[in-house]
Amino acid sequence: MGLWMANQRCKSYAIRLGTLDPEDLRHGGVYTLEHSKSIKYWLAEHPCIVRFRWSHSQSWGSTWSFLFTSIAAYIATAAFLHLFLLLIRRRRPVPLGPIPALHSLAMALISVLIFVGILFSAAAEIRDTRWFWRRSKTPLQWLFCFPLGTRPSGRVFFWSYVFYLSRFLHLFRTYLKVLRRRRLAFFQVFNQSILLCTSYLWLEFSQSFQVLAILSMTLVYSMVYGYRFWTAIGLPSACPPFVVNCQMILLGCNLVWHFGVLFLHFLKGGCNGIGACVFNSVLNAFILLLFLNFYVKMHLSRREDAPLVQPVTAPVQR
């Protein structure tokens, strides 16, 4: 409030001095308001977004057979590519040019778009539907726990569908890593497959807490892929394991979301899609154990390698 009043005093002082035209100030405020309304319209109020409905007959990739076929094809092609490079005994990485950098840039921009879109859409949904559940829930509780009978339609589920489709673009990073002659890790293939399955379950069962999960995941993905683009174009990288630490933070957030929805489910008399939530909790617990195993091994290997590198401080004897 104090900053706003100081800003208004500065503007009025500039108007008295003649350095700021009130007409320009008025038009600038109108333009800013119009731009804000335009962004909100295209991200939360467009008819295609408001009228969206998850349907097996109308939504691409919405059937169970498509999901299982896609995951099986992803695992098979990644394993085949890895074995093929081993058979031809290619030791050098396959030259990919700017493809990894462009992929990272595209994923960072898509993550930012989904983050902003679902943020505006969640605010609009709370505004439009609060009359229905305001006596039993707060907006924060609604983010954790959808009311029973919630259907997969509307703004929030449109962006959940966009997030589900973006998971297929994430799969290409596995192929890029294999072509760079990096080891095909079981954790990465399993994690990508589980995340694809999880995003499908969010839509299929109108699962609670998916807004918080998508917000946290797209925020972390925008930073991670932005960092990967930064390093791919040759700029200096961060000293700590930035990507690994971001993944650890994301897993911690997911753990909080799962505990929150289970707590509200028993406290408030039920949350929509709780069966899928429990199934996802088991999968996320398995991913967390695998990641903690990888994280501990990484730090142990660092401690073992640290004494091997000693700084040279004494002059060379001739």
Q: What are the φ and ψ backbone dihedral angles of 53, each rounded to 5 degrees?
A: -145, 125
Q: Of the candidates 211, 195, 218, which has an alpha carbon nearest to the alpha carbon of residue 273?
A: 211
Sorted by sequence, the CB contacts under 8 Å of residue 274 that are 6+ apart come out as 208, 261, 265
Q: Identify whether 152 is part of a domain.
A: yes
Q: Identify whether 186 is part of a domain.
A: yes
Please state, in angstroms and rounded to a whole number, the distance separating the CA atoms of residues 169 and 15. 52
Whether residue 37 contacts residue 120, with contact meaning beta carbons closer than 8 Å, is answered with no
In the predicted model, is pLDDT for residue 277 greater than 50?
yes
What is the pTM for the complete model shown?
0.82
Q: Identify whether 312 is part of a domain.
A: no
Q: Identify whether 39 is part of a domain.
A: no
- pLDDT, tens digit, 9 for 90 and up, residues 67-118: 999 999 999 999 999 888 888 877 788 888 899 999 999 999 999 999 999 9
**Relative orientation angle of helices 99-133 and 155-170, to the nearest 10 degrees:** 160
Whether residue 2 contacts residue 16, with contact meaning beta carbons closer than 8 Å, is answered with no
Give bridge partners of residue 57 from the DSSP assignment: none
Q: Identify whether 63 is part of a domain.
A: no
Please state, in angstroms and rounded to a whole number, the distance separating the CA atoms of residues 68 and 318. 69
Average pLDDT score over the chain = 82
User: What are the helix (H) ranges across the chain?
Assistant: 2-17, 22-40, 47-50, 64-87, 99-133, 139-144, 155-170, 172-179, 186-204, 210-232, 242-267, 274-305
The letter for the amino acid at 225 is Y
Sorted by sequence, the CB contacts under 8 Å of residue 9 that are 6+ apart come out as none
In the predicted model, is pLDDT for residue 199 greater than 90?
yes
High-pLDDT (> 90) share of the chain, %: 42
The letter for the amino acid at 31 is Y
Whether residue 129 contacts residue 229, with contact meaning beta carbons closer than 8 Å, is answered with no
Structure tokens at 274: 């709780």
Please state, in angstroms and rounded to a whole number, the distance separating the CA atoms of residues 117 and 124. 11
Q: Of the candidates 94, 144, 114, which has an alpha carbon nearest to the alpha carbon of residue 260?
A: 144
Q: Identify whether 11 is part of a domain.
A: no
Q: What are the φ and ψ backbone dihedral angles of 153, each rounded to 5 degrees?
A: -145, 155
- pLDDT, tens digit, 9 for 90 and up, residues 121-176: 999 998 888 766 666 678 888 899 898 889 999 999 999 999 999 999 999 999 99
Please state, in angstroms and rounded to a whole number, the distance separating the CA atoms of residues 49 and 41. 10
3-state secondary structure of 153: strand
Q: Identify whether 92 is part of a domain.
A: no
State the average pLDDT over residues 302-311: 51
Structure tokens at 299: 């730090």
In the predicted model, is pLDDT for residue 291 greater than 90?
no
Sorted by sequence, the CB contacts under 8 Å of residue 296 that are 6+ apart come out as none
Q: Identify whether 287 is part of a domain.
A: yes
Q: What are the φ and ψ backbone dihedral angles of 159, each rounded to 5 degrees?
A: -75, -25
pLDDT at 164: 97
High-pLDDT (> 70) share of the chain, %: 80
Count up the domains in the chain and report the number: 1
Give bridge partners of residue 53 from the DSSP assignment: 153
Whether residue 138 contacts residue 35, with contact meaning beta carbons closer than 8 Å, is answered with no
Count of Cβ atoms closer than 10 Å to residue 181 Cβ: 14
In the predicted model, is pLDDT for residue 184 greater than 70?
yes
Which residue range is the domain that position 232 belongs to?
Answer: 97-295
pLDDT at 87: 86
